[in-house]
Amino acid sequence: MNLTLILAGKPRQLNESVFKQLKIIITTYNQLANSTDVSEQISAITALLKAVTAEKISVTKLKTGELEQLLKALPELCQLSPEDDKKTGKAFNWGDIYAHLSSCYGWTYDNIDNQMTLSRLHEYEAYQRENPPTHLLVKAYLGYEYHDQKAGNAFLASIAAQVKGQTKQ
C-alpha cells in the first residue's frame, strides 16, 4: 500500500510501514490522542512524520489541513483497522506475532522488524489457513493444549489456603 500526501507543501510518497515503524506509529498515535500538552503533541507529530517518511519534515512547515490529512490516512497506510481490535477484544501481541513468524520461517526478529508489513502478514495467514506449518499440524493431531502452570498453582494455593482456614476453626 503506497499513498501520496501533500506534506509541507510537497507531494510525499508514503509506503506501507514495516513492523518497526508500526510499533512507533501505534504508540505515538495513541500518545497524540491522549495528550493535551502542546509540546507533547508536537513531539508526537514529529515522531509520526519521521516514522512515515524518509524526509525530515518540520511540524512548523505543515500547511493547513496537512496534519489532519496525515492522521486520517495513517490507519489505511498502516493497514490498521479499529474493527480488528473490536472483533478480538485485544490489541496486537507483537511478541506472539514475532515468535510465530520466527518459528515458522526461521526469520530473525530484525528481519521481521525491517521487512514484514501487516498486508504481508495477512497474506501469510491466508496461506497458512490452507497449508498449516508442520508444528501446528502435529499439535492439533496430538490434541495438545497449553495449560498455564502458574494459573494452576494459584488455584491449588487458593484451595490449600481455604482448607487451612477451615482446619484452624
Both 72 and 117 in a single domain? no
Phi, psi (degrees; rounded to nearest 5) at 10: -125, 145
pLDDT for res 124: 93
Both 8 and 69 in a single domain? yes
Note the residue count of the chain: 169
Both 50 and 67 in a single domain? yes
Low-confidence ranges of the chain (pLDDT < 50): 86, 88-89
Which residues constitute the domain of residue 48? 2-88
pLDDT for res 83: 56
Are the CB atoms for 19 and 117 separated by under 8 Å?
Answer: yes
- Name the H helices within the chain: 19-34, 38-52, 66-78, 82-88, 94-105, 109-115, 118-130, 134-142, 149-167
pLDDT tens track for 58-79:
888 888 899 889 888 888 888 7
Both 43 and 75 in a single domain? yes
Both 67 and 109 in a single domain? no
Both 58 and 103 in a single domain? no
Q: Do the domain assignments include residue 165?
A: no
Both 39 and 60 in a single domain? yes
Q: Do the domain assignments include residue 112?
A: yes
Total domain count, the chain? 2
Q: Do the domain assignments include residue 166?
A: no
Both 80 and 11 in a single domain? yes
